[in-house]
Amino acid sequence: MRAVFLTEYGKVLLMKVAGEQESLWIMPGGRIRAGEDAQTALAREIGEETGLPDFRVESEVWIRHGSFVRKGERHEEVERFFLIPTERFEPSIEGMEDAEKKRFRRYEWWNIGDIVDSDETFVPRRLGRLLLKLHAGDVPPKPVETGE
């Protein structure tokens, strides 16, 4: 579950995390725990990773079938992305688990155009182009595959 915190001014909240191979920019979120549905997991992850207690999900917009490396082993994953229109807020890492805090580097509110032009690594890789569509009001009626 990933939160696409998007302001009306075209800013999106991203977090930089250290991966085993490189640092990358991702959206707040995480995995579903046993017994949770998507909305419950999203609410828990947003609380843990940003401290934001209240939010409104507009819709599920993307799905990503990707992979990651942990301890030298490649793992497959499926991530679901939910659009959450918001005003800019100051996120907190107080609720993060210790392992998450070790990987966490910083939060930043990015301009979509800066993502498109950046040489940084984002997940999904074509994040800037996907965000341009969302910000222009092109919200897909069902989740769109993002690619790696």
Alpha carbon distance 99, 93 (integer Å): 12
Fold of the domain spanning 2-145: Nucleoside Triphosphate Pyrophosphohydrolase (3.90.79)
Alpha carbon distance 123, 115 (integer Å): 11
Phi first, then psi, for residue 146 (nearest 5°) are -85, -25
Domain range summary for the chain, segments of one domain joined by +: 2-145
Please tell me the pTM assigned to this model. Answer: 0.92
The string of pLDDT tens digits covering residues 64-120 is: 987 666 667 777 778 999 999 999 999 999 999 999 999 999 999 999 999 999 999
Alpha carbon distance 132, 66 (integer Å): 21
